[in-house]
Amino acid sequence: MTATVRARKEQNVMSRISELVDRIQGVRDYTVSLVDAVPESEWFRQPAEGVTHVAWQVGHLAMAQYRLALDRVRGVQPGDEDLISEQVLSIYGKDSVPDPDP
């Protein structure tokens, strides 16, 4: 493979990564705008039994973002507990259910 071909492939990969990062940021910005529109007094209201409340959804999103963006990409690092505790990870992890009265 020539240096030119290799450079083009690297440029294509970087372009795709940049596009993915832009999309992730766009989705995150949209999600934040939706969450910001919900009054804090409504965060723990469950519209029906078994339906999650906004606070649980936000916690679940934070856990998922940590797992996908940090843990799986670079592995657990010292200081991660300061970002998101093991307790939070277990409360919002797989098979978790919302607490209607946290």
Tell me how many domains the chain contains. 2
CB-based contact 52:98 (threshold 8 Å): yes
Instruction: Please tell me the predicted confidence (pLDDT) of residue 51.
Output: 84
> ∠ CA 43-48-50 to the nearest 5 degrees?
90
**Tens digit of pLDDT for each residue in 4-21?**
767 777 788 788 888 988
Residues 52 and 86 in one domain: yes
CB-based contact 63:92 (threshold 8 Å): yes
CB-based contact 60:92 (threshold 8 Å): yes
Instruction: Please tell me the predicted confidence (pLDDT) of residue 29.
Output: 95
Residues 73 and 55 in one domain: yes
Question: Which tops the pLDDT comparison, 75 or 100?
Answer: 75
Residues 57 and 88 in one domain: yes
Instruction: Please tell me the predicted confidence (pLDDT) of residue 32.
Output: 94
Instruction: Please tell me the predicted confidence (pLDDT) of residue 9.
Output: 76
Residues 29 and 56 in one domain: no
pTM equals 0.71
**Domain extent for 20:** 1-37
**Tens digit of pLDDT for each residue in 21-78?**
899 899 999 999 999 999 999 999 988 887 888 998 999 898 888 888 888 888 888 9
